[in-house]
Structure 1
Amino acid sequence: MKALAARRHHPMALLVILLLALVATGGLYAAFQPQAAQAESYTQDDVEAGQALFLANCATCHGRNAEGLVDVTEGSTLGPSLIGVGAAAVDFQVGTGRMPMQAAGAQAERKPPQMTEEQTRQLAAYVASLGPGPAVPDEEWLDTSQGDATKGGEIFRINCAMCHNAAGAGGALTRGKDAPQVIGVDPKHVYEAMETGPQNMPVFNETNLSPSDKRDVITYLETLEETGSPGGLSLGSLGPVTEGLYAWTIILTLLVGTSVWLGGKAK
């Protein structure tokens, strides 16, 4: 005991205690952090095939090493760096046809995919090999039979409705951009969009929305799609603006028509 007491006054004692505290903190954080979506495993053949696809289709804008490119003459970014964006970002952008882009614009628009599912997977494998990032979600987190539509609706209205509309019909943003419709979108792509925050969308990673929360949001969107419009004609699901426009158009048409009819009768 005397030897142990003597070591407490050793100059290195404080450093050892600090290192032990850091190790314990890191271990507790790893043990109690929210469970993440399971990453898909890729082979070296997948990575090599993905690199060939990248060089042929993506390097013009993103650089041969995916480091990103800048137009020196205009000072604008041709394509951002893809190092660390993860497989989920590639699967979303390429799987929805947003990438490769056909032409520069305010934002990449959704269109029919130019690559097959296997090519998309290989391209995702290559980008995932460049640095750690969000992975393609496991099927467990896309199974809406385990989701809670009520909780998902609450999460969606708090975090998403201001841009995508409470009915998921999308809406206009500034400078020629828009928040796309999210009804009828593949659940995997909805999850990946929340995980990676494409374009104008914020990132909802595991620190603010857990995988089960994302599954609940997907369940809510599927419920909206299945329910349809209980009131009949949806008018684009854009709320009171379109409803008021339709009402005033019909009312004004009737008033003008009635006035013309009464003027004709008076003659």
Structure 2
Amino acid sequence: MKWFTAWRRRPWAGYAVVLAALAIIAVAYAGVSSGGASAQASDTQASAQDIAKGKELFNQTCSSCHGANAQGTRTAPSLIGVGAASVDFQVGTGRMPAMNPGAQIPRKKPVFNEEQTRQIAAYIASLGGGPAIPSNDQVDPKTGDAALGGKLFRANCAQCHNFAGSGGALTGGKYAPPLNKATPTQIYEAMVTGPQAMPVFNDTTITPAQKRAIIAYVTQTRSEVNPGGSGLGRIGPVAEGLAGWLVGIGLMVVAAAWLTARKPKKKHND
């Protein structure tokens, strides 16, 4: 070990150690980054295939209204900048493609399957801008605070969608649809894209954690029982008042008519 001690005492020994350490780090980093680059190249290739297929589907079914380059026409808006989340919501709920656009496009059976919907969304997202499709962790109702979600829903959503998400009428022939069929992903996408008459709730207005709390409240409400009896569609006081008038007062009117229709018997004098 005398030779090692002698070598270590030389002036250039410290520089040699530093250079050796840098070389080892460089080799290790090259090995890791090469594997990551391969995975990234595979993802890019898959994404390119989705974009190409999505463009083909778009040209077949959507370009007649939205334009050959999704730039929009007189009958349909531009899709540049709307993002993948907007396409996933509109196409996934069957609202698009729309055969007869009107004041409100209803939910219906989707024309495209999940893979085709994802491909069209990938193509529109490639045009730039807009929110992405949320991950499963972002929309998982099990991790949301349902109590907080109820407060947020009543403050921001109940005016249109009803306190239980049963929907309600708006002006101009529009309406807020019921949320009983909306998936957690679709609820999140609606908040970040603002479809039709709905406003946009970005992450500054309602944070992702608060959005997840609202999703937890909406999904929990669907399974709650009605302790007072029939829920009457959970439409609210209008349905309850109508039931009160038709059933309650109606029975009282029938009872009064029956009582007044009875004629007293004549007394016979002995």
TM-score range, shorter chain: 0.7 to 0.9
In structure 1, the residue corresponding to 2:71 is in which secondary structure? coil
In structure 2, the residue corresponding to 1:205 is in which secondary structure? coil
Question: Does 2:50 match 1:49?
Answer: no
Give the letter aligned to residue 163 of structure 1: C
Once the two structures are TM-superposed, the CA of residue 255 in structure 1 deviates from its matched residue by: 2.8
d(CA) in 2 for partners of 1:260 and 1:214? 55
Once the two structures are TM-superposed, the CA of residue 240 in structure 1 deviates from its matched residue by: 1.6
Do the aligned partners of residues 251 and 145 (structure 1) sit closer, same or farther apart at CA in structure 2, a change above 3 Å counting?
closer
Give the letter aligned to residue 71 of structure 2: E
Once the two structures are TM-superposed, the CA of residue 102 in structure 1 deviates from its matched residue by: 2.1
d(CA) in 2 for partners of 1:124 and 1:229? 39
In structure 1, the gaps of 5 or more residues are 1-39, 71-77
Look up the match of 2:5: none
d(CA) in 1 for partners of 2:245 and 2:52? 61
Look up the match of 1:149: 146
Look up the match of 1:183: 180
d(CA) in 2 for partners of 1:228 and 1:109? 28
Deviations 1:162-191 (A, max 9, x none): 000111111000111110111341100000
Once the two structures are TM-superposed, the CA of residue 132 in structure 1 deviates from its matched residue by: 1.5
> Residue 84 of structure 1 contacts residue 132 of structure 1 at CA under 8 Å; is this kept in 2?
yes
Matches within 5 A, 1:28-47: 43-47=47-51
d(CA) in 2 for partners of 1:258 and 1:139? 58
The structure 1 residue matched to 2:165, chosen from 164, 168, 174, is 168
Question: Does 2:63 match 1:59?
Answer: yes
Give the letter aligned to residue 182 of structure 2: V
Higher relative contact order (CA 8 A, sep 6+): 1
Look up the match of 1:135: 132
d(CA) in 2 for partners of 1:189 and 1:212? 16
Look up the match of 1:201: 198
Once the two structures are TM-superposed, the CA of residue 232 in structure 1 deviates from its matched residue by: 2.2
Give the letter aligned to residue 61 of structure 1: C
Question: Does 2:66 match 1:69?
Answer: no
Do the aligned partners of residues 135 and 66 (structure 1) sit closer, same or farther apart at CA in structure 2, a change above 3 Å counting?
same
d(CA) in 2 for partners of 1:141 and 1:229? 30
Once the two structures are TM-superposed, the CA of residue 260 in structure 1 deviates from its matched residue by: 2.8
Deviations 1:5-60 (A, max 9, x none): xxxxxxxxxxxxxxxxxxxxxxxxxxxxxxxxxxx976111111000101111111
In structure 1, the residue corresponding to 2:94 is in which secondary structure? coil
Once the two structures are TM-superposed, the CA of residue 256 in structure 1 deviates from its matched residue by: 2.6
Question: Does 2:236 match 1:239?
Answer: yes
Percent of counterpart pairs with the same letter? 52
Once the two structures are TM-superposed, the CA of residue 107 in structure 1 deviates from its matched residue by: 1.3
> Residue 184 of structure 1 contacts residue 225 of structure 1 at CA under 8 Å; is this kept in 2?
no
In structure 2, the gaps of 5 or more residues are 1-42, 265-270
> Residue 164 of structure 1 contacts residue 171 of structure 1 at CA under 8 Å; is this kept in 2?
yes
Once the two structures are TM-superposed, the CA of residue 80 in structure 1 deviates from its matched residue by: 0.3
d(CA) in 1 for partners of 2:144 and 2:249? 46
d(CA) in 1 for partners of 2:249 and 2:224? 33
The structure 2 residue matched to 1:248, chosen from 245, 249, 257, is 245
Once the two structures are TM-superposed, the CA of residue 114 in structure 1 deviates from its matched residue by: 0.5
> Residue 183 of structure 1 contacts residue 224 of structure 1 at CA under 8 Å; is this kept in 2?
no
Runs of 4+ in 1 over 6 A off after TM superposition: none
